[in-house]
Amino acid sequence: MTKENNQIKNIVSKLYFESKPNLKKPILPGLLFFIVLLTGVIGYSILWKDTPASLVDSIYMTVITITTVGYLEVHPLSESGRIFTMFIAIAGIGTMFYLFSIIMENLFIIQLSNYRGKKKMLNKLENLKNHIIVVGYGRVGKLASNVLENNNEEFVVIDEDLNENIEISDSGKFLKIKGNAAEDDVLIAAGITKAKGIIVTTPDSATSVFVVLSTKVLNPGIFIVARAEDESVAEKLKKAGADRTVNPYSIGGQRLASLMINQNVVDFLETSFGIGENNLKIESMDLPEKCGFYDKNLRELQVRQKTGVSIIAIIREGTPYINPHAEFTIKQNDQLVLLGTKSQLKNFEKMIIEN
């Protein structure tokens, strides 16, 4: 993971952050200021050698002279002592302003370059793992991002038409990266090697195919969902490595027809499924290797009675068993498709741990 983080850091720095702000080093003005301060302390110690002046008196006199505070002399000064004081005052004020000007200029450069903000975003990119990448931030990409955000998923958006190279969304919940997702460096900057999935929403079929190919090379195990506006493009995307393809126009047409034919059913689905504690969700779950569910049937487990969750399907070796009967026995490597509210699904997870 450290190697992947270093790769992301290097590429992001090269593509977006360039180098650190070109700050001026305050070594010379700091050294000159220290020399003037030391000269003043030594000079006043010599001038007051015949008086009961202490080292603190010499330091105090030097400081009030340089800062032009204007207090009275600690001990009487001769004519040569006053000339020396004028020299310390002029030299001290000059070096002090020189030092402060360098410091203020550096602060301005840091503020202008937003270095701290960039560092924060870089750290956020480095720490991302098991996240989702959304390629394209047009109408489809924004809708996909809204759903991911509402479900509290960690994700990164890649788009060429963003205003900033890297920016945080208005909600502050996800990052947006400016760039062409067909380029490996841009995908790596978004953490493709650590991502669990990528959604390709670009309308250009050639770009989508190239992004899918690049993604599979960089992360062969990633789950890819791609936009396809016709069957020929869908076939090409699947051959390139896409796990699923979606035609947004086809889905829109089906929804329009469904509203006309089965209005009550569509209204029920919209009301029951969505974002919220009491809304229903459908989730798939792989059981852990050591689990008390194995070799037991659904009647014995009493999942619905204990958690409120309904097992609506069991996928075994790629074959789905829809609405399994009470005598259906759970086997190793079975994948469960569950229906329930957020709290009910949490209860089911606890049941797995306890068993």
Q: Which of 69-73, 107-111, 187-191 has the highest mean pLDDT?
A: 187-191
Q: With respect to CATH, is domain 128-251 assigned 3.40.50.720?
A: yes
DSSP assignment of 205-226: HHHHHHHHHHHHHH-TT-EEEE
Task: Provide the b/e sequence for 250-273 (b: ≥16 CB within 10 Å).
Answer: eeeeeeeeeeeeeeeeeeeeeeee
CB 119 within 8 A of CB 140: no
pLDDT at 1: 55
User: Rounded to an integer, what distance in angstroms lies between the CA atom of residue 227 and that of residue 201?
Assistant: 5
Which residue type, as a one-letter code, is found at position 150?
A: N
Ranking 92-96, 104-108, 196-200 by mean pLDDT, the lowest is: 104-108
Q: Which of 220-229, 246-255, 283-292 has the highest mean pLDDT?
A: 220-229
Which residue type, as a one-letter code, is found at position 343?
A: S
Mean pLDDT (whole number) for 332-337: 88
Residue 267 has φ and ψ, to the nearest 5°, of -60, -40
Does 223 score more than 90 pLDDT?
A: yes
* Average pLDDT of the chain to the nearest whole number: 84
Per the model's pLDDT, the better-predicted residue between 6 and 340 turns out to be 340
Q: With respect to CATH, is domain 279-354 assigned 1.10.3720.10?
A: no
- What residues contact residue 275 under an 8 Å CB cut-off, 6+ apart? 150, 151
- Give the dihedral sign, CA 295/297/298/299: negative
pLDDT at 279: 77
pLDDT at 13: 64
What pLDDT, in 10s, does the model give residues 27-84?
Answer: 888 899 899 999 999 998 998 888 888 899 889 888 888 888 867 777 888 888 889 9
Per the model's pLDDT, the better-predicted residue between 313 and 10 turns out to be 313
What pLDDT, in 10s, does the model give residues 127-179?
Answer: 788 899 999 998 899 999 988 888 888 899 999 888 777 777 777 778 888 88
Domain boundaries, the chain: 27-113, 128-251, 279-354
Q: Which fold has domain 27-113?
A: Helix Hairpins (1.10.287)
Mean pLDDT (whole number) for 303-330: 90
Percent of the chain with pLDDT strictly greater than 70: 85
pLDDT at 218: 92
Percent of the chain with pLDDT strictly greater than 90: 23
pLDDT band at 197 (very low <50, low <70, confident <90, very high): very high
Does 312 score more than 80 pLDDT?
A: yes
